[in-house]
Every structure is written in C-alpha cells, then in structure tokens.
Chains A and B, each alone.
Chain A
Amino acid sequence: MGTYVLKRIMSIIPVFLLATLLTTGMIHLSSVDPAEAYLTAAHIQPTDEILAQKRHEFGLDQPFLLQYVNSIIKICQLDFGISYVSNKPVWDEVTYRIPATIQLALGSIVIAVLVSVPLGFLAGVKKNSLIDHFSRALSFFGASIPSFWLGYILIFFFSVKLDLFPVEGIGTWQHLVLPSVTLALPLIAMYTRLLRASVLENMREPYVLFARTRGIKEKTIMGKHVLRIAISPMITGLGMNLGKLLTGTIIVEAVFSWPGFGRYFIEAIFNRDIPVIQCYVLIAASLFIVSNLIVDLIQMFIDPRISRKEGQQ
C-alpha cells in the first residue's frame, strides 16, 4: 500500500510540469505583447525604450526553456508576478479574494450533499417509486439548466417577488443561500444520479443476498452496508467535480456580484491582466490535480481492493 501511495503522489509531478508549460506557453499564443499590455493597463505611453525595459523585466527576451524553468521556480515560491492593473503581487490579491469563493463552494457542497445523499439513496432503494421519478427528473433538469439563468430566476422569485433574500453582495448567511443553491443544483443532479446508480448496482451484489439470508434487517443492510459502499463513487465525483465547481463559481459570482476569485479572473480577462489569468488557470489545474489525488487516496482507505489491484500489476 505504501508504494502505491508513493507512486500515485509521484504521478502528479509530470502532469504539473505540463500544466505549467501550458500556462507559460500561453503568452506566446497571444497577439498581445505582455509588455505592451502592462503599459496600456498602467496608462503609460509606450515607447520602444520602456517596452524593451519591461520585456527584459518580464524575462521575455530569454529563451523559452529558461523562461519555463524560471516560472516553475517562481511558482514554487508562490510568486505569480505583479498584476498589471493594481501593481500589487498577484498572490496577495488572490489570497484576499479566495475566502469568499471558498465560502461559496463549501456552502454549495453542503447543500448538494444534504440533498443528494438521501435523495439518491432512497431513489436507489425504492426503484420506480415516486421519489425515484422525482430524483431522475431533478438530475436531468439540473444538468440542463444554465446556471446563469437559474441564478436570475431565483433572484426574481426569492428576492424581487418574495423579498426573502438579498439580491447581491456578501456578509450574512442570507447572502449565501441563493448563490449556493444556484451552484449546488448541477452538483445535486450529478451526485443523485451517481448514488442512485451505485446503490442499484450494489443491491445486486452477493453480499446483500448473504446478509438477507442471514436474516439481517433490511434497514441495517441498506443503511450500514449498501450505503457505505455505494457512496464511494460519489466521493470520486466530488473530487472530480472540484474543477467544475470552480468554473461554476465564476458564473455564479458574476450573477450575484460575489466578490470572489472568479469575478477577479473575469475582470482580469477584460483587462488583459496576464499574470492574474495565468495564476488562476494554474491554481485551478493544481486544485484539480491535487483533489483527484486526495480522492484516490481516500478511496483506497475506504475500499482497499483498489490498492491491492494496483499492487498486483
């Protein structure tokens, strides 16, 4: 098991190197010169002299390989460069905005788990019942509703018509409700579907039959055995979805004027603030890679069969 853990942890290094290669290489795809973008954003009249000086400062006159190595070293020191717009280190700006995004993401994960675990489980146990049909309809429409539209529909009903929740902003728990629900719906759709399928699959396993023949109560079998094993794919789904959740926050933050990382990213795109864009993409990729790793490791502890299978190869 130890070697498997180590192997799995080592396997993220090449992926991470590739991810940094892509973010470093991205600038060269751009039609805009970063030095020029910087000067425009900082409202400095570009002359050849200043441009050359800035290019040197950004290391753009170096060969690409050297730029790449330098950027990796800098990233390891959490140095993502200086924002063109605010002239402050990108990392400071990011850490200032990240808590709001985490708050939103956590809120939606909590809602998603609270709704989808009971719903998916019951739908699986009572196949073709009313609750099953409801769960299927929910998971289907949840995956098809554009979240930016859903956000406004919720604002219209709960803020404009019923005046229950504030339209936008951050602060109290009331502010958190509508954005989290908007962000949670696609997750609910996916998790309910996953859990339902997994419960159905597990109910066909021999261990359920064995438990039944031993005369164990149906409730105990379902609650103690089936649910525990069936929930494993949901954990994978949770980890794989962190990336999707992050994209979701971009849109939800735009709808609800939530002062988080996602909105900062969109502003950066409009301002052509390249270090911020690179930083966001890289953080998203790292989050995605690391969460996949953690999910794999958690799954290994829940279901030791995985590492044994890997170990045999």
Chain B
Amino acid sequence: MMARIRKIFRSQKVITICSMVLGILIIIAIFAPWIAPNDPIAVNLVYKLQPPSWEFPLGTDHLGRCNLSRILYGTRISLGFAMLIFISSLSIGLILGTFSGYRGGWIDHALMRFCDGILAFPNLILILGLVGIFGPGLKQVIIAIMLVQWVYYARMFRGMVLSLKEHNFIAAAKISGSSQWKIIKNHIVPNVLPPLVVMGTLEMGWAIMDISAMSFLGLGVQAPTPEWGAMIHEGKSYIRTNPEIMLYPGLVIMLVIVTFNLLGEALSDRYSIKRRF
C-alpha cells in the first residue's frame, strides 16, 4: 500500500501535492468550528487591530474579530458554494445537454442557439447583470453563476453524446449484447470522466474567484459572515496602518486558485485534453 502511494507520488508529483492541499482545505472547511481559535463574528472592540498573539495568531481586525478564525471559516463559504455551483450547473448541463444531443431536431437547435446567446456575453458581466436584476446577496450571486455556467456543461455533454452516438465501439458493444448499464459503466463513463474532472477543477477555481470578487464588490456575502473577498473589502480602509488584514485573505484566495489551476493543468496534461481557452 505505502509503496504504491509512493510510486503514484513520484510519477504524479503535482497532482498529489495539489490533492493534498485540497484535502487539507476540505478538512479545514468541515472542522472549522473545532480548529478555529475564536468565534469569527464575535465583535470585541477592546481587542481591535491587535498584532499577532497567542490568543489571536494572525491579529484582529477593526472590530476585534480574530483574523485566523475568519479565514478558516471563510473556507466553508468559498469551497462549499463553489462545490454547490459545480454540482448544480453540472446537473443542469448534463440533463439538458444529453437530452438535446440525444433528441436532436428543433429542440436541439433552439437550445444551442440559446446557449450561443448566453455565450455572447462575457460571463462575469452576465452574472453581474443578473445580480443587478435579482438584487445583491449571496443566494442571488450563486443562482446567477449557476444560470450562466450550465451552458458550458450542456454544450460539452451534447458534443459528447453526438460523438459517442457515432462511435463504433458503442454499436459493437450493443451488438455483442452488452446491457445498457454495462455500456454506460464500461464505455461512456471512462470517456466522459477525464474531461469532466478537468473542467470541474478549473471551474471550482473560477467559481471561488467569482464569489470572492462579488463579495469584494459588496454584492455577495453580507457582513458579518466571514468570506475572503468581503474581508479584503473590509480591510481596505486600514491599508495604511494594518495592511495584513487584507493581505492574508488575498494570499489564501491565491493559494486556493493556484492549487485548482495547477491541478487542472496537470490533469489535462495527463489525459491530454484541450482546455476551454
């Protein structure tokens, strides 16, 4: 077992390290209440703008809240909602894309033209437009991102269904009497999974960036919820005296996005998949 892990590690260094970092982040997100030294939203003006100490390892912000605890809790929002966006836009895209590719005809045509329409917008602008219509707030931001992102999955799945329909090995499997379940398990899933994993990894990075950008603009997470983008937004007024308040959350965002991007790139090299751009 150990020997095998060591072998995988040696051949896939980047993938292993990135997965480990992500694993740690997920553990932090799940166990934030036990790991965090202080309550992330407890205001204590006596302790405001404190330098790092044993009680507050990364110091405190302008309301005396523990920076480290806020960053640790922020992991929950960023990772959790990025995952939610990924899963839900994936499901919508999977259902509509597969259906559209499978049925063909005017339904397919109409759906694809609709997708073209959505893709005619730079995606963050459409998200912002939708948030503008729905009104600011985390829920609205998540819905807006979902409404835009599913299009990419729908197109991907449609393309896959169309090309798989043509492939001989599916027909061959059918002729030789494989059951529907066996075809899906042995032939379709292995073909669909690698590009999906790569896309999902990159998508998570974008989603985290989008959520924090929205919160930074004040449109996403509302105070006092701890979120990295919102922390930078709050910390900016103290840039002259306490730059570290906005420094830490930015570093964490960067670490997370670098990890997702590196992982996505390594995976797409590994499975030689063309990227979206």
Report A's interface with B, CB cutoff 8 A: 14-16, 18-19, 21-23, 26-27, 29-32, 140-141, 143-146, 148-149, 152-153, 155-156, 160, 240, 243-244, 246-247, 250-251, 254-255, 265-266, 268-270, 272, 274, 277-278, 280-281, 284-285, 288-289
Contacts and interface: CB of A to CB of B under 8 A. Distances in A.
A152 B239 contact: yes
Contacts of A247: 122, 124-125, 128
Given A146-B257, A272-B135, A19 B213 contact: no
Interface in B193-222: 205, 209, 212-213, 216-219
B174 to A, nearest CB: 33
Contacts of A19: 117, 120-121
Contact of A146 (B133, B219, B253): B253
Interface residues of B, number: 45
B250 A272 contact: no
Interface of B: 113-114, 116-118, 120-122, 124-126, 128-136, 205, 209, 212-213, 216-219, 229, 232, 236, 239-240, 243, 246-247, 249-250, 253-254, 257-258, 261-262, 277
17 contacts: A18-B113, A19-B120, A26-B129, A30-B133, A140-B258, A144-B257, A145-B254, A153-B247, A155-B239, A160-B243, A247-B128, A265-B132, A269-B136, A270-B136, A270-B218, A274-B133, A285-B121
Contacts of B132: 265, 268-269, 272, 274, 277
B129 A148 contact: no
B96 to A, nearest CB: 17
Contact of A144 (B116, B135, B236, B258): B258
A144 B261 contact: yes
Contacts of A23: 129
Nearest to B249: A149
Contacts of B277: 240
A243 B232 contact: no
A289 B239 CA distance: 39
B113 A143 contact: no
A278 B129 CA distance: 7
Nearest to B235: A152
Nearest to A245: B122
A240 B120 CA distance: 11
Given A18-B120, A26-B133, A270-B218, 13 more contacts: A15-B117, A15-B120, A141-B258, A144-B258, A146-B209, A149-B253, A152-B246, A153-B247, A240-B277, A251-B216, A251-B217, A269-B132, A284-B125
Nearest to A28: B133
Given A19-B117, A281-B121, A32 B135 contact: yes
A75 B122 CA distance: 20
Contacts of A14: 113
Contacts of A152: 232, 236, 239, 243, 246, 250
B127 to A, nearest CB: 9
A18 B125 contact: no
